[in-house]
Structure 1
């Protein structure tokens, strides 16, 4: 049986989650630019010094649900068996494992809010792209360390394809989820998007038929 984290750690986790929930609520109702960091800290009754123990800034706290999932993905990559399957399939399994590790129905709602904010806010979108690039470098490092792929640029291409499939999947999921996003629905979207990757590489550039 896994023991519960120490009390101090549980308190830190609760404070971090309270900051995330308050940020998503305030940004969602008033807009990202309509909420100051002072107002966010006041909402949770913590100091800015405490805030910066957990997050680098407003963008960081707003993107936390999705970033937590990608950090869990890196953990999954470290331990998932290297069993000879195609690399994209291996990474898909690690991604679905990360969803199981961090995701519940509360996470699904937070993740959907975070995604919507990133689409509406240019600074958040830019921050997300920077995080994605940093994460992908870590992914390549893990795969090159664990697998016989050192120096193979296809590793990065496979990772980028997985991220592209994820972006399509999460975009469709948020658009269709309404007020009740669910983790199983997101997992299904990920599977569908990854399954479509080979066909996307085989698409032909056939012109539209001329109108008659």
Structure 2
């Protein structure tokens, strides 16, 4: 089952993959799919690398060709989604201001990934369910937050390049990237407790993200009274 986070015959840069690359992509997707199914049904702590590999009928050695550890395969769907968002952000029109570009990119990413959503563990809906797993698994949460910090640096670099700024001197790109990351994480947390948004799946997440961004300006500059 192919993950929806990248097309099965192209990479994020839209390069057509060869036969060998497609085979490797299918193996990676199958490992991610099996890992998520096991994590969601029996828990992260109870799942072993051997079980994940056996579910795909490959060796442990093959598993480690694709992932450094169990933690990395658990975060693969969200990591791929974050990378896809970065790709969308780089393609946004130059006349959009930084916040407009990021809002449009995150919505575009969720819509594109949601179009290919599946009922299986590699789908976007299952990725949303993994947010709940993250919040109850300290090792995964710590790893996710580390990657989020790294992604903020990448986003800041993209914003600085778009605006012709030096991110090492101008604080705005890094500050806006950090605020953006906080808004998205709050949206994820809200999704886990919002029954209506939860039931709506990816569309519910997009609505929550838009709602949180609508409140960003008033929260930062408006009167709260």
Q: After the TM superposition, which segments of 4 or more aligned residues of structure 1 sit over 6 Å from their partners? A: 203-206
Task: Quote the residue 1:82 is aligned against.
Answer: 94
1:139-184 CA distances to partner (integer Å, 9 max, x unpaired)?
1122222313322212111111111111121222233368855222
Q: Equivalents in 1 of 2:134, 2:111: separation in Å?
A: 23
Task: Quote the residue 1:100 is aligned against.
Answer: 111
Q: Equivalents in 1 of 2:200, 2:34: separation in Å?
A: 19
1:36-57 CA distances to partner (integer Å, 9 max, x unpaired)?
1112111111122221232222
Task: Quote the residue 1:17 is aligned against.
Answer: 29
Task: Quote the residue 1:73 is aligned against.
Answer: 85
Q: Equivalents in 2 of 1:202, 1:170: separation in Å?
A: 24
Q: Taking structure 1 as reference, are residues 154 and 186 closer, same or farther at Cα in structure 2, changes over 3 Å only?
A: same
Q: Equivalents in 1 of 2:27, 2:33: separation in Å?
A: 10
Q: 2:127 aligns with which of 85, 88, 111?
A: 111
Q: Which runs of 5+ in 1 are unaligned?
A: 207-212
Q: 1:162 aligns with which of 156, 177, 180?
A: 180
CA offset at residue 204 of structure 1? Answer: 6.2
Q: Equivalents in 1 of 2:57, 2:197: separation in Å?
A: 31
Q: Which has the larger radius of gyration?
A: 1
Give yes or no for contact 1:72–1:102 (8 Å, CA) kept in 2.
Answer: no
Aligned Cα RMSD in Å?
2.4
Q: Equivalents in 2 of 1:180, 1:40: separation in Å?
A: 29
Q: Equivalents in 2 of 1:177, 1:39: separation in Å?
A: 35
1:197 aligns with 2:216: yes
1:25-71 CA distances to partner (integer Å, 9 max, x unpaired)?
21122221111111211111112222123222211111222211110
Q: Compare relative contact order (CA 8 Å, sep 6+) and give the higher one, 1 or 2.
A: 1
Q: Normalising by structure 2, what TM-score?
A: 0.80
